Amino acid sequence: QVQLVESGGGSVQAGGSLRLSCVVSGYTYTRSCLGWFRQAPGKEREEVAFIYGGGSRPYLAESVKGRFSLSQDRAKSTLYLQLHVLKPEDSAMYYCAADDVGAGFAGDCWTRRFDHLGQGTQVTVSS
């Protein structure tokens, strides 16, 4: 059974930082595309950051590039999203996502249709 369990959200002031974590189970971590989406009330879901579990080159959306970073601990099957210099417009529910793509994946994870999302963790940034 696939489970994606997010944690680390919270309320911070503009300019602050948070670290989101996603523990992945039910997938072979290193054969998966993994990433984060976010969705604010009344807005469409937005791509944030993605990485191949067996690789090391992350993709970050332009809106977060330079402020957010993506890392992973394969031994713990855990994906991290570090959020810095947060802005009120970063406020949203952040969802971890996973998609089984097999070994040796050389494509772009951000183009995948992710079949599994977690329950989400809320990030609220006040001005």
Render pLDDT for 29-84 as a digit per residue (tens, 0 to 9).
999 999 999 999 999 999 999 999 998 889 999 999 999 999 999 999 999 999 99
- pLDDT at residue 96 above 90? yes
Q: What is the mean pLDDT of residues 77-96?
A: 98
- Which pLDDT score, from 0 to 100, does residue 1 have? 86
**According to the model, what pLDDT value does residue 55 have?**
87
Where does the pLDDT of residue 3 fall: very low under 50, low under 70, confident under 90, or very high at 90 and above? Answer: very high
DSSP secondary structure letter of residue 109 = G
pLDDT in tens, 19-28: 999 999 998 9
- Angle at Cα 18 formed by Cα 56 and Cα 126, nearest 5°? 135
Stretch 79-104: mean pLDDT, rounded? Answer: 96
The pLDDT of 95-103, averaged and rounded, is 94
What type of residue sits at position 91?
A: S
The contacts of residue 92 (CB under 8 Å, 6+ apart) are 38, 39, 40, 43, 46, 122, 123
Report pLDDT for 27.
Answer: 83
Task: State the pLDDT at residue 115.
Answer: 83
pLDDT of res. 84: 98
